[in-house]
Structures are given as C-alpha cells and as structure tokens.
Amino acid sequence: MSSAKDVIIEAENLSVVFKSKQDPDDYKSHVIDFFRGEKQKQTKKDKFFWPLKDINFKGYKGEILGIVGANGSGKTTICKVLTGILAPDQGQLTVDGKVSALFSYGIGRNKNLSGRENVYLNGLMLGISKGKIDQFINEIHEFSGLGDFFDQPMKKYSSGMRARLGFSVASHLEPEILILDEALNTGDRAFSAKAAGKMQELVKKAKMVIVVTHSHRFARENCDRVIWLDQGQVRAVGDPETVINQYEQTVPIAQRKVRKKLQLQNIDTIKKENIAVKANDVGIKFNLGRDNHWALKNLSFQINEGEVVGIIGRNGAGKSTLCKVMTKILKPDEGEIEINGETTALLSYGAGFNRQLSGRDNVYLNGMLLGIPKGIVEYNMNNIAEFSGLKKVMDKSIKNYSSGMRARLGFSIAAMLRPDIFIIDEALSTGDMAFKQKASEKIQEMMEQAKAVIIVSHSMKFVSTVCTRAIWIDQGQMMMDGKAEDVVKQYLEKAKEDRAKKRQVK
C-alpha cells in the first residue's frame, strides 16, 4: 500500500492496561462465593495486564484491512479502542471518520423485539436518524435474506441469522469506517461471499473496512493487507498471504499436523448397538403472522452411541432449532424425539455466561445450571483453566474476554464435565486455528466416555476432519445423511451451483 494513500487511522505506541483486581460492580461474585461456602475475598493487590502494548499501524483510504491472531491476542480490544468504547492508557490514536462496529454477538440487544425493531434500535444507538434508517430498511431486509423472520422476535433467530442481519445493518447505513469483529464467523459460505462483495462496494464509497477474523481463507481472498497481533503486540503487517503464512508457522508443530481424518475407527467398532438420539418425523412450527413457518419438517434420523455427527446447512436451515429440540428447550409440534442420556449443549459464543462474573465463577454457575455437583466442578476447575488457556485470567470478569476467549472457556467447561451427549452449536466459530485442533483431539478423547457428539458448524473442513458422519438439512428438511466427506462434497457442489445461478440472474 503506497504511502501516498490518505491515512484514515494511525496508531502510535497505543497501549491499554487492565487491573486484575475485582471491580466494585462485580458484586455477583460474592453471591457465587456464598454458594461455594467461601467467605468474601479479602482486598487484593492490583495486578496489571496489557492487552495492547506499543501498537503501531496505519489504515489507508479504500482498503480492507484484516486483523488475525490467536484468541486473547488483543483483536477485540483494539476494535473497542478504535470505536471509542475503550480509551488508550498510553500512545496516540487518530481516526479520520465516523466508526461503525459490528461485534461478534451481532445485532439483537433486545431478543423480544423483532429484527425490524432491532434495526431501528441499533441504528439509533449508532446516531443514525430514523429517516436514514427508513431509507434503507427495505434494502437491509432483502440483503439479509430473512424473509418473514424479519418481523419476528429475535429470540427465534439462529446465530447465523443474527450475523446476517447485523452485517446487513452495519453495511447499509453508509458507514465511513466499518469494523467487523468476528461478525461473519457464523455465516454460511454463500453469505460470506455476498458480504465480501458488499465490502468491496463499501470501500469505493466509504473510507475503509477493518475485518477481524479467524478465517484465513476469507482474509487471503478479501483483504488488501493484514495485521498479525500476538499477545497484544503487532508481529507483522503486510500482504495477506505472507503475513498469514508467518502466523500459521507459529502454531505448535504438534497442532499443525495435517491429518485428513482423526483416527476414530477404533471407536466406531464399539458403537452402533445403542441409540443415543432418534428423531421420528419431527416438526417445529413458528407462527409468522398470518402464516406458519416450519423450521423443521418431517425430520427423521438416528444417532448411535460412539458417533461424531456434523449438522450442516445454510443459515436459517433449522440447525439451531434442531439443537434446541435435542436439548429439550423446544418441544416438537409434530413427531417425537428420543434422547437416551443427559445432553449438554454449548450454544454459540458460550451462551450462559454472566458478563459481571469472573471466568472462575462462571464455571461454577454453568455447573450449577447443568445440575453438576459442586465437588465435581471443583475437581475439574484446574483442568478447565488449563485446557482453555485462560489460567491467568480466570479471576477476571467475563466482560473483558474476547468472543474467542468465551468460546474456549465454554467448550472447556462442557468438555471437562463429561456429558452423555455433547452438542456444539457454532461454539467454535470464534476459535483460533490452534484451539480448533486441540478441540478436535478432545472430541476424539471424549468419545471414550460420551455417548455421542453432535457438531453444528459452517466450517466444512472441520466437519470433514472431525466427524464420522454428517446430516445436511435445508429449510428444515433432510437433504442428505451419510459419510461426512461425501455429504460435505455434495453440499459444497450445491452451494456452488446456487451461486452460479444467482450470477446468471443478475
């Protein structure tokens, strides 16, 4: 990128420091202490943690700038500084333009409001006039592809649907500088391609786009430059291919082994007899005004003990609804589902965390919610902290965690507490490359104890590598059920055909 380009963002020796002492508003930690039978903690000495230290970089007009790095490297913190949520403790930051940001949890501050109402709520909070939102509301609706769900409460949305609506809002309300912090991780491949096209359109009109992502493929294909953050510092800035290759080479060799398939054959030989989950013509109906929408329709399948099953499909296909049925959050309107064992579900972004509590206290809270005895939680606490890689920040409030850190802790809690049937709904979408490999190996180990593992994911590589079998659903109905590699291949071919047809129509 030429130095003659207009500089839109310039950071000089930018640093942010956090105190690890418990904040005064973290009063709920004392409640957890009470249930744990502990006295309130004595005042601690302040300890300092630098999520960003001496950051230097420039962002130029007309570019899409990617930010990559491991979970906890400072990516979300730098986004919060750029948007003004956090003030730097040291250094200088110059931003020429108004910043609009879409963080990983996307849109939907009020889940009881409809998608349309949340568009207005989020737009007004960004300082955008109602008249401007009126001007773009139909385009936002169409681009999101939500159809009748646009006027339904967002509590009915899957994580992918929220991501699509959030991007649609952020990209259509004429942002000058748009920051996307892991906002597209739960989007399917078709929507990611659509979003990439929209970003190219944006940078021609606006000033620049910043994308925080764990998808190295997306960064390589769509970013002009990439910043690699590591432990709060800039390790490299430059061409996406060069910088990402440098980053990937730092992943420990044991975790960089390329394996087409995890060795699950031995587990397969001892399964097949007992049924873990069985669905018979399951249907879930949502009332969308005058019409009914079948989120699931005539869905039948059987999962036996010892299987690792991937659930794939486009956003809005019914994947999250199926997870809610299997965890008994939703009851089928038609048909029946048989669950033989206790299910533990890790829904997207570590649902179930209380932002005011520390990581450690959230482990106890989740254990209590799952009905797990306090002694078992305590016995596993060190293992959870160690596996998640968050040992140093377990006593920090969750509100200071990035989405990737929450995902790591959520997976570690669920995995270490040994469920019968383990359901993962997009919970690893914000995980970095190293942790995904670590999680894959843990899933293999879990199969010796759990009855079945069910994974909902848009990462076809992850499903092909980890799962013994895949179920592809679309519009709530079964499309294909079989060997993971075969199902993924057919799904990707169909997605490619659909994209080609859309280009022909245009």
Q: What is the CATH number of the domain that holds 23?
A: 3.40.50.300
Which domain range does residue 189 map to? 7-254
Low-confidence residues in the chain, pLDDT < 70:
1-4, 19-47, 103-109, 126, 183-188, 252-272, 289-291, 344-352, 369-371, 417-419, 426-432, 444, 446-449, 502-506
- 439 occurs within a structural domain: no
pLDDT at 108: 54
Q: Is residue 75 part of a domain?
A: yes
Per the CB < 8 A criterion, the answer to whether 401 and 409 are in contact is yes
The whole-number pLDDT of residue 472 equals: 96
CB 229 within 8 A of CB 82: no
pLDDT of residue 449: 67
**Cα 450 to Cα 467: distance, rounded to the nearest angstrom:** 15
What secondary structure does DSSP assign to 191-209, as a single string?
HHHHHHHHHHHHHHHSSEE
- Within a domain: residue 173? yes
Q: How far is CA 296 from CA 57, 85, 286, 334, in A?
A: 48, 40, 10, 9
By three-state DSSP, how is residue 271 classified?
coil
Residue 465 in any domain: the answer is no
CA 152 – CA 314 distance, rounded (Å): 19
Asked whether residue 178 is assigned to any structural domain, the reply reads: yes
Instruction: Please name the residues in contact with 191: beta carbons below 8 A apart, sequence gap of 6 or more.
Output: 145, 160, 163, 164, 167, 184, 314, 315
Assigned domain for 405 exists: no
Count of CB atoms situated within 10 Å of the CB of 283: 17
Q: List the one residue out of 94, 8, 11 whose CA is nearest residue 56.
A: 11
Residue 419 CB coordination number (10 Å) = 23
Task: Give this prediction's pTM.
Answer: 0.63
| Backbone dihedral angles phi then psi of residue 492, each to the nearest 5 degrees | -65, -35
Q: How many domains does the chain have?
A: 1
**What is the Cα–Cα distance from 479 to 470, expressed in whole angstroms?**
11
Q: CB pairs under 8 A, 24+ apart, for 31-37?
A: 32/357, 32/361, 32/364, 32/365, 33/361, 35/364, 35/368, 35/374, 36/364, 36/374
Return the structure tokens found at 343: 């299910």
d(C-alpha 271, C-alpha 451), whole Å: 9
> What residue spans of 145-279 are helical by DSSP H?
159-172, 189-205, 216-222, 240-248, 265-268
Mean pLDDT of all residues belonging to the chain: 79
With beta carbons less than 8 A apart as the criterion, state whether 381 and 344 touch: no
Q: Which two tokens stand for residue 72?
A: 């906890």
Q: Residue 185 corresponds to which tokens in the numbers above?
A: 């991780």
Residue type at 461 in one-letter notation: K
R_g (Cα) of the chain, nearest Å: 23
Q: Hey, how many other C-beta atoms are within 10 angstroms of the C-beta on 288?
A: 15
- What 137-141 contacts at long range (C-beta under 8 Å, 24+ apart), as own/partner pairs, is 139/172, 140/165, 140/168, 140/169, 140/172, 141/116, 141/168
Residue 187 lies in a domain: yes
In a domain, 210, yes or no: yes
Phi, psi angles (nearest 5°) of residue 262: -65, 145
Are the CB atoms for 122 and 140 separated by under 8 Å?
A: no
Pairing of strands 452-456, 307-312: parallel
E strands in 80-149: 90-95, 99-102
The DSSP secondary-structure symbol of 189 reads H
pLDDT at position 257: 41
